[in-house]
Amino acid sequence: MATSEPRATGGDQDPNSANLRPPSGTYEYAWMHGCTRKLGMKICGFLQKNNSLDEKGRLAGQKNLLSCDNSDRDVRFRHTETDFSNLFARDLLPAKNGEEPTIQFLLEVVDILTNYVKKTFDRSTKVLDFHHPHQLLEGMEGFNLELSDQPESLEQILVDCRDTLKYGVRTGHPRFFNQLSSGLDIIGLAGEWLTSTANTNMFTYEIAPVFVLMEQLTLKKMREMIGWPGGEGDGLFSPGGAISNMYSVMIARYKYFPEVKTKGMSAAPRLVLFTSEHVRDPTYLIKSILWRVIPADLEAKIIDAKQKGYMPLFVNATAGSTVYGAFDPINEIADICEKYNLWLHVDGAWGGGLLMSRQHRHKLSGVERANSVTWNPHKMMGVPLQCSAILVREKGILAGCNSMCAGYLFQPDKQYDVTYDTGDKAIQCGRHVDIFKFWLMWKAKVRWREINWYFLSFILCDVNKKRPRCVLIHCVYFCVQPQHTNVCFWYIPPSLRGMPDGDERREKLHRVAPKIKAMMMESGTTMVGYQPQGTKVNFFRMVVSNSAATQSDIDFLIDEIERLGHDL
């Protein structure tokens, strides 16, 4: 391994002038005061030329050169016509003279993105421009997904950005009803742009002081909303609901069998988990009625497990199930958990947001009795993906369960209060900053447009009940309203109306939703999910979590289903 002579690299500078900036006079900037704090707008120009302070004084001295506080003074860059065809990534910062191309490139990207944002909310724009995988792989009008061996120009990179959005799906479109997470929140978006720019890691206070404190304060607020006294307890933001739920299982196991941490699973008896038959995990499945678990069946299963020599450990109560939006009866489940000394977890990934609502939080009654709660603001609350919290009632148990006491990662002899370091509580080392967008949205909104969502799903129920063409599953089976913003229904084409129930009708009806969905995606007008479940053949699952959706969009969806499915 050669230790060659120092060579100047692309981004290198003369070491002797390392603390000086080259004169910026060659750039065309409009130096302006972009801050609106109290003072209002004003212009504040300065030059950094001839900054030749000695080394020790250079940082303290900087303020002397500035006629206003450095932190408040933002430059408003002028977006100029730039030829990107001869510019490459290597011409951007940290390259010498890279500042101007960098700013112009970023402003060009922002043009693309703001145009996309504008069109996303424009109902004359398609939700998607569908192509099959093989079509996109073959290349669409010059959009080549393959990675070549030659670097592309910035012009091509910008084209790639445009094409990536063009062939994608507008999940923020008012007529996108396909997923539990939808919508494009502008405050959340701004928060994500800032988060990417800060590009740090929730690992320690040292490298993410502000974000770590925001997470701590926000988790405390969430715990207060759960109803744990004084908002005490613990928690973390994790990459998603599945991982938050995994944390809950790990903590429960640690609570009852801490030696599993060092000795492995052989240190515990055969542990058993219980959850609703409407949930994904293959554990002990509890029967349900109205899609809510039946507490008596839970107790019977616990007794059965014990009789077989297993060790019941953990009960999951779902607050907002994926398909039907059902809420398990938490208080009744908590009674059983107390009786048998089991860990109670509430999976509120989807429904947790209702804790923010005075009107609807009763659906999670008893949640304060849970040992842990999963709550995904990226679902019901419209926070950009990813944003999921695991909240724990017992303080310290997250660290107890997950800490490895790795001195090379967490130093106890740092100058600040290291209890603020979060890394030793997490199963991750690098942990993305998911808190800022949520914190910012909370600051900006507080009450989260909650009424709108419910209003919309009730409208849909009305629509469905009035029309013979759609059959609402809740009404067919139990004559009840949906518990959440999930509305599940069959579209019945004229050819099936009046046909007696039986295998033939079931088989035909099973094929209706996939056919309509395929045509819907081809035409790109709207998107809604479908699935079979249990004995029920394919049905549509409409979900309203997008704050851009209005009654007219729901009418549009029903009309579009009818337009596409009428002749099936």
Contacts of 297 (CB under 8 A, 6+ apart): 286, 287
Q: Binding to a second copy by residue 45, rule CB under 8 A?
A: no
389, β-bridge pairs: 237, 375
- Choices 40-48, 289-297, 335-343, 367-375 (CB under 8 A): range interacting with a second copy: 40-48
Least distance CB 334 / a second copy (angstroms): 24
Q: Binding to a second copy by residue 235, rule CB under 8 A?
A: no
- Choices 260-268, 300-308, 332-340, 471-479 (CB under 8 A): range interacting with a second copy: 260-268
Q: Binding to a second copy by residue 399, rule CB under 8 A?
A: no
- From candidates 228, 247, 327, 439, binder to a second copy by CB under 8 A: 439
Q: Which is nearer to a second copy, 427 or 471 (CB)?
A: 427
Q: Binding to a second copy by residue 508, rule CB under 8 A?
A: no
- From candidates 334, 336, 370, 441, binder to a second copy by CB under 8 A: 441
Q: Binding to a second copy by residue 277, rule CB under 8 A?
A: no
How far is it, in rounded angstroms, from Cα 274 to Cα 20?
Answer: 64
- Angle, CA of 190, 192 and 198, to the nearest 5°: 105
Contacts of 338 (CB under 8 A, 6+ apart): 369
Q: Binding to a second copy by residue 57, rule CB under 8 A?
A: no
- From candidates 228, 442, 491, 540, binder to a second copy by CB under 8 A: 442
- From candidates 67, 97, 196, 495, binder to a second copy by CB under 8 A: 196
From residue 388, alpha-carbon distances to 111, 225, 240, 252, 373 in Å are: 30, 16, 5, 19, 11
Rg (CA), the chain: 28
How far is it, in rounded angstroms, from Cα 263 to Cα 265?
Answer: 7
Q: Binding to a second copy by residue 499, rule CB under 8 A?
A: no
- Alpha-helix residue ranges (DSSP H) falling in 181-267: 186-198, 209-226, 241-256, 260-263
- Choices 284-292, 456-464, 467-475, 492-500 (CB under 8 A): range interacting with a second copy: 456-464
- From candidates 218, 276, 288, 318, binder to a second copy by CB under 8 A: 218
Map the footprint of a second copy across residues 339-398, applying CB under 8 A: 376, 378-379, 384-386, 388
- Nearest CA-CA partner of 450 in 371, 382, 509: 382
Map the footprint of a second copy across residues 465-494, applying CB under 8 A: 481
- From candidates 49, 122, 229, 338, binder to a second copy by CB under 8 A: 122
Q: Binding to a second copy by residue 304, rule CB under 8 A?
A: no
How far is it, in rounded angstroms, from Cα 492 to Cα 498?
Answer: 10
- Nearest CA-CA partner of 256 in 312, 302, 308, 310: 312
74 touches 41 (CB < 8 A): no
Three-state secondary structure along 262-276? HHCHHHCCCEEEEEE
Q: Binding to a second copy by residue 411, rule CB under 8 A?
A: yes
Least distance CB 298 / a second copy (angstroms): 19
Q: Which is nearer to a second copy, 115 or 495 (CB)?
A: 115
Q: Binding to a second copy by residue 408, rule CB under 8 A?
A: yes
Q: Binding to a second copy by residue 13, rule CB under 8 A?
A: yes
Map the footprint of a second copy across residues 518-557, applying CB under 8 A: 518, 521-525, 527, 530-533, 538, 541, 547-548, 550-553, 555-556
375, β-bridge pairs: 348, 389
- Choices 266-274, 330-338, 390-398, 500-508 (CB under 8 A): range interacting with a second copy: 266-274
- Nearest CA-CA partner of 313 in 301, 323, 329: 301
Q: Binding to a second copy by residue 290, rule CB under 8 A?
A: no
- From candidates 254, 399, 432, 496, binder to a second copy by CB under 8 A: 432
User: Hey, what are 76's tokens?
Assistant: 């408003």
Residue 45, sorted as left (phi over 0), alpha (psi -120 to 50) or beta, turns out to be: beta
Least distance CB 485 / a second copy (angstroms): 12
557 touches 564 (CB < 8 A): no
Q: Which is nearer to a second copy, 112 or 471 (CB)?
A: 112
Q: Binding to a second copy by residue 257, rule CB under 8 A?
A: no
From residue 422, alpha-carbon distances to 240, 387, 430 in Å are: 17, 17, 11
